[in-house]
Amino acid sequence: MSTTESEVLIETELGRVVGWRKRELQRAGYDEGAALRIAERLDVDLHRAIDLLKTGCPAETAVRILL
C-alpha cells in the first residue's frame, strides 16, 4: 500500500468516526453545528459530552465547557 493509499484509508476511517460521533451527539440533543464542532475534536470525551446534557446542562454551556 502506498503512502497515498494509507492516507486515504486513514482519512476515510477518521471521517467515519467523526460522522458517528456527530450522530451520537445530535441524538443526545446537540444541534448540528455544535455536534460537528465537538465530534471533530477527538480529544473531547464523547461520553462526557453526552452526560453533560443528561444531567441537565444546557447545550450551549456544555459546548463552552468542552471546547
- With a CB cutoff of 8 Å and minimum separation 6, the contacts of 10 are none
Tally helices (H) and strands (E) across the chain: 4, 0
pLDDT by residue for the chain (67 residues), tens only, comes to: 556 777 776 688 999 999 999 999 999 999 999 999 999 999 999 999 999 999 999 999 999 999 9
| Residue 3 pLDDT | 61
Can you give the pTM of this predicted structure? 0.85
